[in-house]
Amino acid sequence: MTASAPFVRLPPGSDAVGQWAASRRLAYDARPDEAWFRRWEPYDTMAPGTVYYNACTWTKSRLVIVLAEPWFAPEDGEPLERTILGYASHPDLTRRAAARVGEHLLTRVAFIENAPPPTVTVGDKLWDEHVTTFAASGSEAAAAFHPRLRKLLSGWGFRGHLEMRAGGIVMHFAGLFPEPRGYEKLLGALTDVVNHAVRR
């Protein structure tokens, strides 16, 4: 007799996310490789999840997008809130800067191992009044969050976290939940962000 694989408890709604991924022809992994997500850490503005669930991967040409649910509780516990994150990889992303609009469940509050980049302004009154921006300099932030990208986010009334680094973007769009509708909206939003970020 062979030993059975250990039971892995999945968050409520996982079946619906898997069905959505299949309907969109996305690769789906209910319990994805945690090491892949750890390579994106540390985040500049967000706390990391304990584990990650329900990863859906979309690939088009040089753009790869992975959507997943970070779990902000012990594996056998229940988080106070649930959300999703989007990760985009594209070789034309070259700037490093981060932006946060609002305070959220996953907003990073402790900086034990590394300090965040300096808080800067980009010289755009509307943006600077509503967005906390982090980068090595104001000019680097203004180049990363250039006018077309700022206009896109402003038009959405974006709230959440957006972190850009060489080769990638991590996005938390506040108010989206780990359900098909949330995954669909985040996929579209992150695709738009990447397209605006790489085309000035």
Mean pLDDT of the chain: 91
Domain residue ranges of the chain, discontinuous segments joined by +: 14-198
User: How much is the pTM?
Assistant: 0.92
- Tell the burial category of 154 from Cβ atoms under 10 Å away from its Cβ (0-12, 13-18, 19+): middle
H-helix or E-strand spanning residue 13 = none
Neighbours of 70 (CB within 10 A): 22
For residue 7, the model assigns a pLDDT of 46
Please, which pLDDT band fits residue 3 given cuts at 50, 70 and 90? very low
> In the numeric block, which tokens belong to residue 125?
């009154």
Using the predicted structure, report yes or no on whether residue 24 has a pLDDT greater than 80: yes
Using the predicted structure, report yes or no on whether residue 1 has a pLDDT greater than 70: no
Integer Cα distance of 75 and 53 in angstroms: 10
Rounded to an integer, the average pLDDT of 78-89 is 92
* Locus of tokens 């594209």: 90
Using a pLDDT cut of 70, give the percent of the chain over it.
Answer: 92
Using the predicted structure, report yes or no on whether residue 79 has a pLDDT greater than 80: no
Rounded to an integer, the average pLDDT of 100-109 is 84
Helix (H, G, I), strand (E, B) or coil at 94: coil
For residue 6, the model assigns a pLDDT of 46
Q: What is the pLDDT of residues 150-192, one digit of tens each?
A: 999 999 999 999 999 999 999 999 999 999 999 999 999 999 9
Q: What is the pLDDT of residues 114-140, one digit of tens each?
A: 677 899 999 999 999 999 999 999 999
